[in-house]
Amino acid sequence: MKRLTHVLVIVLLLSLPLALAAGLRPGDITVHKLDNGLKIVLLEDHDIPNIAYYTFFRVGSRNERPGLTGVSHFIEHMMFNGTQANGPGQFDRIMEASGGANNAFTSEDMTGYTNWYPAAALEKMIELDADRMQGLIFDPKVLESERSVVASERRMGVENNNENLLGETVRATAIMAHPYHWDVIGWMSDILSWKRDEIIAYYRTFYSPNNAVIVVCGDFQTPKIMELIRKYYAAIPRGPEPPAVLTVEPSQLGPRRVVVHKPAQTPSFLQVYHAPAATDPDFPAMDVLGMALLQGESSRLYQRLVARDQLAIDVSGGIGQSIDPLLFTIAVKPRPGVDTGLIEKAIEEELARIKKDGIAEKELMKALNSVRMDFYNPLMTISGKAYKLGQSEIYYGGYEHIFKAMDPYKAVTLKQVQEAAGKYFSENNKTVGVLIPEGGSK
């Protein structure tokens, strides 16, 4: 019976391109490139009278250096704070008055600018976005105000959030050399001391058309939008080739451990392992491992730590996509007063079990179904489609990857999963962090 179920899943996976028929077809997407290197990926979708206009720059915290940590994220903020043509705040005021809204995000590997607006606002919005690609003025007064905003963001997100505070400490302990060493938000002392000319130099280096890809999905006509994009972007000069990130994280040669003492009512626990990059052949097997260990209440670590041993309130984690190798995380929210040594011991036992016996076929099936759900869910919205296409561009070098994304998963074998567990979940590759409530026990 088990075998049959598994075969059924594989057959369904193979039929994916057919199932995509109405949601996203390769033939519906067009790709364009301007002479200045700007790549544009377009998908018409006329279901609602709106447009998702996303610009992705190939810049994130991995491109930073000590002293300038967090600057990619800061420029994300400054992209809304004034050009010669449009003064500080104008971008948002014009956009919102036209019925549009926007946001932006920065990760280790990319910065994304996400606009959602009614189709009728298209030209004005393109003009605004093109204007800020190279036109920011970094008004000193505005810059200082925004610096305070980012400091507040850090206080909210890291200093007053125990899980994130521990996460930052563990990351910096596990990763020594690579710029993934610091969080995307950057160190507070850097936030408070970036120099304006350094920020501008960074902006000039990375915010050029040849380092960007625009993905648009929604209610537009392709010839018309390309005419507008050419009109507003073609004159922006190509920028310098951004410097490559050359630092390779050296292999970890022994377990690392870090303790944070802080007034709190509950402890926090985080265990991480160096993990493969998104394009590494081991990535899908590690992703499957993550789902077996941590996804849902049926997962091994939820069952062990929360349901059975009752050592924790919740568990989460797994592997995420990244350009360079990053981390596999096991985050545990311990119950108040619990000895976190017991948590670590239980995790070790569960990992040893997987290394010895692998995972069951039903766990692989669960992972494959989850991958399919994760694939289809974003395709319900124009925003989700734009994000998925952009993500494919940044991590895999082209939107086409979206149509092959399932292939490596359906090829994953139980043996590969077991081998990946043995390869990555080693004592020497591990870093453990514990936040201990001050004055309390572990």
Partner 1 sequence: MKKAILIGIIAAFAILPLCGANSLPTPQKFKLNNGLTVYYLQDKDLPLVAARMLVKGAGTAFEPAEGLANLTAALMLKGAAGKTAVQVAEDIDSLGAALDISAADEYMNLSASCLAEHFDRLMGIAADCMLKPAFSPEEFEKERQNRIDSLKAAKDNPGQAVRLYFRKAYFGTHPLGHLAGGTDTSLGAMTVGQVRDYYRKYLGPQQAVLAVAGDIEPDRLKQVLNRTFGKWQQSVPAPAAKLPEFPAPHGKVLILVDKPDATQAYFGLGFPGFGMGDDISAAAQVMNTLFGGRFTSWLNTELRIKRGLTYGVSSSFQQWRGNGIFNAFSYTKNDQIGEMLDITLELIAKAKKEGFGEEEIQSARNYILGQFPPTLENLGAKARSYLTLDFYGLGFNYYDGLLERIGKITKPQADAVAGKYFSDQNFVLVVVGRAEEIFAQLAKFGDFKIKKIGAADF
Site for partner 1 in 103-162 (CB under 8 A): 103-106, 116-118, 121, 144-150, 152-153, 155-156, 159-162
Site for partner 1 in 295-334 (CB under 8 A): 295-299, 302-303, 306-307, 310, 313, 333
Site for partner 1 in 182-211 (CB under 8 A): none
How far, in Å, are 24, 116, 265 from residue 384 at the CA level?
11, 12, 38
Residue 382 one-letter amino acid: I
3-state secondary structure of 281: coil
Residue 328 one-letter amino acid: F
d(CA 301, CA 294): 6
In this structure, how many other beta carbons lie within 10 angstroms of the beta carbon of residue 263? 9
Site for partner 1 in 414-433 (CB under 8 A): none
Q: What minimum distance in Å lies between the beta carbon of 156 and partner 1? A: 6
Q: Which is nearer to partner 1, 60 or 325 (CB)?
A: 60
d(CA 429, CA 316): 19
Q: Using CB under 8 A, which of the segments 44-52, 204-212, 320-328, 412-420 binds partner 1?
A: 44-52
3-state secondary structure of 390: helix
Q: Which is nearer to partner 1, 66 or 89 (CB)?
A: 89
- Is there a contact between 72 and 111 (Cβ–Cβ < 8 Å)? yes
Q: Which is nearer to partner 1, 35 or 357 (CB)?
A: 357
Q: Which is nearer to partner 1, 194 or 273 (CB)?
A: 194
d(CA 160, CA 263): 11
d(CA 64, CA 217): 31
The answer to the question of residue 339 lying near partner 1 (CB under 8 A) is no
Q: Judged by CB under 8 A, which of 336, 341, 397, 398 binds partner 1?
A: 336
Q: Which is nearer to partner 1, 7 or 307 (CB)?
A: 307
Q: What minimum distance in Å lies between the beta carbon of 147 and partner 1? A: 7
The answer to the question of residue 93 lying near partner 1 (CB under 8 A) is yes
DSSP strand E in 227-343: where? Answer: 256-262, 268-274, 312-319, 327-334
Q: Which is nearer to partner 1, 312 or 394 (CB)?
A: 312
Site for partner 1 in 61-90 (CB under 8 A): 76-77, 79-80, 88-89
Q: Percent helix, strand and coil across the chain, each rounded to 5? A: 50, 20, 35
Task: Using only the alpha carbons of the chain, give its radius of gyration.
Answer: 23
Q: Judged by CB under 8 A, which of 343, 371, 394, 406 binds partner 1?
A: 371
Q: What minimum distance in Å lies between the beta carbon of 118 and partner 1? A: 4
Q: Judged by CB under 8 A, which of 232, 376, 396, 403 binds partner 1?
A: 376
Interface mask toward partner 1 for 261-300; x: CB under 8 A: -xxxxx----------------------------xxxxx-
Site for partner 1 in 213-232 (CB under 8 A): none
Residue 26 one-letter amino acid: P
Q: What minimum distance in Å lies between the beta carbon of 374 and partner 1? A: 8
Q: What minimum distance in Å lies between the beta carbon of 434 and partner 1? A: 15
- Is there a contact between 115 and 95 (Cβ–Cβ < 8 Å)? yes
β-strands 212-218, 256-262 pairing: unpaired
Order of strands across the sheet with 268-274? 256-262, 430-437, 268-274, 327-334, 312-319
